Amino acid sequence: MFLNIAYVLIILWIIGFIAFPVIGWFIHILLVLAIISILLRIIRGK
């Protein structure tokens, strides 16, 4: 589940980076959330 959320967040980050360069802070928050989701999956070992 976390991996799916991470994929969605990364895709949204890429789309946001290309489409909306003005709101860079929001895009970076999405990237951080995606990385956290991936790390939680790795830590839990599933």
- Number of structural domains, the chain? 1
**Per-residue model confidence (pLDDT) at position 33:** 84
pTM reported for the whole predicted model:
0.52
3-36 per-position pLDDT tens digit:
888 888 888 878 877 776 666 677 777 788 888 8
3-class DSSP string for the chain: CHHHHHHHHHHHHHHHHHHCCCCHHHHHHHHHHHHHHHHHHHHHCC
Q: What's the CA gap between 45 and 28, in Å, rounded? A: 26
pLDDT at 2 over 80: no
**Per-residue model confidence (pLDDT) at position 21:** 67
Which candidate, 9, 15, 43, 7, places its Cα nearest to that of 29? 9
- For residue 25, give its domain range: 2-44
- Residue 1: alpha-carbon gap to chain centroid: 13
Q: How would residue 46 be classed by pLDDT, with cut points 50, 70 and 90?
A: low
